[in-house]
Amino acid sequence: MTNLAKTYEHPYYAVIFSSERTSGDHGYNMMAEKMVELASRQKGYLGVESARDDNLGITVSYWETLADITAWKANAAHQVAQRRGKEEWYSRFALRVCKVERNYLFEM
Amino acid sequence: MTNLAKTYEHPYYAVIFSSERTSGDHGYNMMAEKMVELASRQKGYLGVESARDDNLGITVSYWETLADITAWKANAAHQVAQRRGKEEWYSRFALRVCKVERNYLFEM
Instruction: For residue A108, name the pLDDT band (cuts at 50, 70, 90).
Output: confident
* Span B67-77, pLDDT tens digits: 999 999 999 99
- pLDDT exceeds 90 at position B108: no
Residue to test with chain A: of B58, B83, B87, B92, most A Cβ within 10 A: B58
In terms of Cα–Cα distance, which of A54, A53, A73, A88 is closest to A13?
Answer: A73
**Which residue of chain A is at minimal alpha-carbon distance from B66?**
A101
Judged by CB atoms closer than 8 Å, whether chains meet at B53 and A53 is answered as yes
Q: What are B37-66's pLDDT values in tens digits?
A: 999 999 999 999 999 999 899 999 999 999
Specify whether the CB–CB gap between A51 and B54 falls below 8 A: no
| Nearest-by-CA chain A residue for B91 | A108
Task: Quick: pLDDT tens for B1-20.
Answer: 678 999 998 799 999 999 99
> Considering chain A, what percentage of its residues have pLDDT values greater than 90?
88
| ipTM at complex level | 0.94
> How confident is the model at residue B2, as a pLDDT?
74
Provide CB contacts within 8 A for B32, sequence distance 6+. B50
pLDDT at A69 over 90: yes
DSSP A86: I
On the question of pLDDT at A81 being above 90, the answer is yes
CATH topology of domain A12-100: Alpha-Beta Plaits (3.30.70)
pLDDT value at residue A1:
66
**How far is B96 from chain A, CA to nearest CA, in Å?**
4
Contact B51 A60 (CB under 8 A): no
Residues of B in Cβ contact (< 8 Å) with A101: 97-99
pLDDT score at B59:
96
Residue A69 burial (10 A CB sphere; 0-12, 13-18, 19+): buried
Task: For chain A, give the number of residues.
Answer: 108
Quote the distance between the C-alpha of residue B20 and its chain's center. Answer: 14
CB A105 within 8 A of CB B86: no
pTM of the entire predicted model: 0.94
CB A60 within 8 A of CB A49: yes
- Check CB contact under 8 Å for A97 and B97: no
pLDDT at B47: 96
Q: Please tell me the distance in Å from A19's CA to the nearest CA on chain B.
A: 7
